[in-house]
Amino acid sequence: MSVVFKICLLISLFLFSAISFSQDLETVSKVDLQKYAGKWFEIASYPQRFQKGCQCTTAEYTLTTKDYLIVENRCNKDSLNGNVSYIKGKVFAVKNTGNSKLKVQFFWPFKGKYWIIDLAPDYSYAVVGHPNRNYLWILSRTATIDDVVYEQIVSRIASKGYDISKIVKTKQK
């Protein structure tokens, strides 16, 4: 992992964890972390500097016996077959939120807000955001998602105050 990537990620996480003025973002009522664990494919997102050039982006969550999950993020840089970029972090559930508000830590002591704002009943897709609405990820258990389902998700995102014109689909194999 390049030094520039690490610096950008560190700065972004600091900004990601900053106090925001719009804390009224509604999350889902409850998340079963055992069902949430596993591999997720990024379908679309708000582009972020720390993900610049990323394609085939995935996140894999693993339960631990401690008070956190492990997350391993991977992407191919600059092409579908580019060099793999990898980062490992910890995910902490915020108490009394039904596990729908999480904090992600890639570099101690910084933790970024990771709020689950939409979730399929069968955990086939999830939408993750931040209360400042500057961060957004649409995730799926598969590398592609049905167009109708995608449009329904985007419609719900818009109703939560996100600017859907910023959403960029992620290339997957």
Question: What pLDDT digit, counting tens, does each position of 152-172 carry?
Answer: 999 999 999 999 999 999 999
User: What share of the chain in percent tops pLDDT 90?
Assistant: 76
At 20 the pLDDT is 40
CA distance to 7, 118, 164, 171, per residue, from 139 (Å):
25, 10, 15, 13
Q: Report the mean per-residue pLDDT for the chain.
A: 88
Q: What's 101's domain CATH number?
A: 2.40.128.20
Write out pLDDT tens, residues 1-39. Answer: 553 344 334 344 444 444 444 458 999 999 999 999 999
User: What share of the chain in percent tops pLDDT 70?
Assistant: 87
Range of the structural domain that residue 32 is part of: 3-169
The sign one gets for the Cα dihedral 160, 39, 95, 51 is: negative
3-state secondary structure of 28: coil
Write out pLDDT tens, residues 55-83. Answer: 999 999 999 999 899 999 999 998 999 89
At 123 the pLDDT is 98
3-state secondary structure of 44: strand
Contacts of 21 (CB under 8 A, 6+ apart): 132
Nearest to 71 by CA among 89, 84, 53: 89
Domain total for the chain? 1
